[in-house]
A and B are shown apart, each in its own frame.
Chain A
Amino acid sequence: MNSTRSHKAQKVLERMGKKLNRQIVGSFAACVHCGMCTDSCHYVLANPGDPTYAPAYKADKIRKLFKRHFDWTGRVIPWWVNAKSVYTDEELEELKDTVFGKCTNCRRCSINCPMGVDFATFNRMARGLLVSVGIMPEGVAVVSKDQWEIGNQMGVLKEDYIDTLEWLSEELVDEFGDPRAAIPIDKKNADIVYSINPREVKYDPRTISDAAKIFYLAGANWTMPSEGWDMTNFGLFSGDDDLGGAVARRLYEKVEELGGKKLVISECGHGYRSTRCEGQNWAQYDLNFEMESSVTTMLRYIHEGRIKVDKSSNTDPVTFHDSCNNARSCGLTEEPRELLNLVAEEFREMYPNRAENFCCTGGGGAMSMSEYTPRRLKSAKIKADQLAATGAKYVVTSCHNCVDGLSDLIKHYKLGMKVTQLVNLVAEALVVPEKETAVPVEEIPAAAAGPLDGYKILVVDDEPDFVSFASAILEDHGASVVNAFNGNEALEVARRESPDLITLDITMPGKDGKQVFESMRKDPQLKAIPVCIITGQPELRKLIYDRSVPPPNGYIDKPISEESLMRNVRKILEIKQKATK
């Protein structure tokens, strides 16, 4: 190895040798640069004329290393086959931009390659090599750290998770008037152990209660684990097999500890792929229980007559978006359609579909890499056109990543569609048997009361799914919402848009929330705008209040609920909430 090579570059090359297997070597060696894969990539289609997005071009950024160090022609006459080594950290940064920022590992090029070159697989390998030397987008580092240290990729604390399940249980018990409707936690020897995406706890608890309703009405013997409940796995996106194995093992061991007979994985493309298809390989773990997607479970319940559904509950036209991980890596394409046809009146197919569908553009961890957001949204034009062509009002998908990716692009391209999941539609269509129906509890007034018509609110957060979540709530209540994903953008948008309120995250890449807040308070144009801090790190509150500027007008800890957000917003905007109860 060259003595002028940086330590990180040296490590990347050494570790590459250990990562190579026959499949990857075959894919490296077999490419003939025929260009057949080019138009299969949504990045290429959305960036005409720019060859740097072409799958073969991106693949060569990794392949050149293989050729230079592991392939004989490249070792002897490197220039003849474009073999090149890597020497500096800057070159590794450039590679990072390609493997993380220009590819979602959707595998669409792989199935369009005449030679069977599986670019997505070795792109993931390259991500893993970079991660192993600490070169990765900040979001990837943050999420990976949370999953290593806290046990789930959104840093949801155990008490918050349990709290959420408990209040959902209370609501379910109230709704059905039956204590058996509660969510069982850590029940031993259950037939089903249900695992979820932490996004459900943090932003979308309705998916948990909808699933719980279905299990309850089906009379399932089920449980949710108090720990090791996260079926997502950032190891798939970061390429870190160690993380992938550790996360998968945590979940498998919990199911075994509980004596569960089957692990049911809630609707999440990468979670399903990681847990069902890859986890055992990363963890080198053989299982003594079965696993299936909740889509399969719900469909089976209907077939077995354990739940009854009425499709007239879902009358709006719906289309279905196949998650890449479900369709192109796990073959889960027919069950969701069958289920959708049972619970929705008008299903409109999207073209292309199934394994040929285009990526939601938020896959491969893209939603956590805010530095690539403009690039991601530009490439989303392909998906936007595909969605618009269906004319559907709802796009249904079995993936939380896709929910966020699609929501973001729908907003960006002003498609006016809504995104939902099968579990929501099934729950909506459930026919509740008379004997199971409790006396309806008094209707809880919607947190929505108190319109925000005429108000403009700037939501600042580096987590696109949080931005989508908060924006959707505020827009539903009539506010006009603008977004910013980092500190500099926040100041720019605030000056341009003069919002009535700013919700501000603290931890962001670049200029963080503390600096942004101080800048706003010192800026004559912005200082009068109310600011509500929303953060997942309450310990940072002191840093805000210790500053020599007027304090923020509100402060909310994540995870937030619709009610807490609206209560704070209304309070800050001095909207008098009409008492509805």
Chain B
Amino acid sequence: MSHLLHFAEHTLQEVALLIMAIVYTTRLIWLMRFKAGKERQANTGKGDTSSRKGIIYSWANIAMPWAMESSRKKFFLYSQFVIFHLGVVAAIGLSFIIPYAPQLLGSQVLVAVLQVIIGAACLIGAYRIIRRIASNYMRAISSPDDYFSLVLLTVWFFFAFWSVPNNTSGGETILLIYFFMTAFFLIYVPFSKISHYLYYPFTRYYLGKTLGKRGVYPVRRYSEEARS
């Protein structure tokens, strides 16, 4: 292993993670400086729900594709979402496995699983780029950051896919690109829309708290399909 690759796998990643952690902390402090709205009124609804129930339902919402019409009716989009985010987890995990537990990649099963997930995420990323460009609805709501973040992740998936075997016999270029991209990704994330997962617990917490208190969450649904 070259000094450069060692640097990319260790020092560079650690510095990038440290920067990300500092920026994230700053970001959270910034968010928490805004006062949270308070609800004085007594609960509404049938009485079988509460703020607490609403919060749990709201957090779990994303894992219940049947819970929202948008994910229920667009199951293909929802499936893409799941695979894409599994790809992110796998590719991030890979950046820890290679430097700190490379022996795990001796398992061909793990290599295959990671490559399938990351490869699928990469294809979905490409599809999402096309969708964002081709759909006038998506174009209308897209900023340069939206395009760049998507392209960044898709290209990163591509190099992560080829880096999974952690094989340098053909050269270190792929691994070097993957680790430099990972570092860039970690530093860029807090400044981009990719930081949405930082806000996710908060937005869903407050929506769940409000709608739980008001008896809306968990949503009662009596669909036409259920009737028939």
Contact = CB atoms under 8 A, between A and B. Distances in A.
Contact of A30 (B30, B38, B81, B199): B199
Nearest to B196: A32
B148 to A, nearest CB: 8
A329 B214 contact: yes
A36 B70 contact: yes
Looking at B46, B135, B140, B200, the one whose CB has the most chain A CB atoms below 10 A away is: B140
Contacts of A332: 44-45, 215
A52 interface: yes
A371 interface: no
Looking at B30, B62, B191, B206, the one whose CB has the most chain A CB atoms below 10 A away is: B206
B70 A56 contact: no
Contacts of A333: 220
A330 B199 CA distance: 25
B41 A26 contact: no
Interface string A77-106: 001111000000000000000000000000
Interface in B188-228: 191-193, 195-196, 199-200, 202-204, 206-208, 210-211, 214-216, 219-224, 227
B61 A114 contact: yes
Contact of A327 (B68, B191, B216): B216
A286 B40 contact: yes
B36 A32 contact: no
B141 A115 contact: no
Contact of A22 (B34, B61, B137): B34
Interface stretch (B2-10, B71-79, B117-125, B163-171): B71-79
B199 A115 contact: yes
B214 to A, nearest CB: 5
A277 B44 contact: yes
A281 B40 contact: yes
A331 interface: yes
A283 to B, nearest CB: 9
A329 B69 CA distance: 17
Given A35-B141, A277-B41, A330-B215, A22 B31 contact: yes
Given A30-B196, A355-B220, A40 B69 contact: yes
Given A21-B35, A82-B143, A40 B204 contact: no
Contacts of A52: 140
A352 interface: yes
B45 A331 contact: yes
Given A35-B138, A54-B141, A280 B203 contact: no
A303 interface: no
Contacts, number: 190
Interface string B120-140: 000000000000000111111
A281 B37 contact: yes
Nearest to A280: B40
Contacts of B145: 73, 80-81
Contacts of B35: 21-22
A351 B40 CA distance: 33
A38 B41 CA distance: 32
Contact of B71 (A110, A114, A280, A353): A114
Contacts of B36: 21-23
A33 interface: yes
Contacts of A116: 58, 61, 200, 203-204, 206-208
A60 interface: yes
A30 B200 contact: yes
B70 A39 contact: yes
A531 B21 CA distance: 74
B196 A115 contact: yes
A312 B49 CA distance: 35
B42 to A, nearest CB: 8
Given A32-B193, A36-B77, A276-B41, A114 B62 contact: yes
B32 interface: yes
Contacts of B203: 23, 26-27, 30, 115-118
A354 interface: yes
Given A115-B196, A116-B200, A334-B220, A22 B214 contact: no
Contacts of B208: 116
Contacts of A36: 70-71, 74, 77
B62 to A, nearest CB: 6
A26 B31 contact: yes
B146 interface: yes
Given A51-B141, A111-B68, A116-B58, A22 B202 contact: yes
B209 to A, nearest CB: 9
A356 interface: yes
B106 interface: no
A57 B136 CA distance: 11
7 contacts: A22-B35, A29-B31, A37-B70, A72-B30, A81-B144, A330-B45, A331-B211
| Closest CB pairs A-B (n = 10) | A331-B215, A331-B45, A51-B140, A30-B199, A116-B204, A82-B143, A116-B203, A112-B70, A116-B207, A280-B40
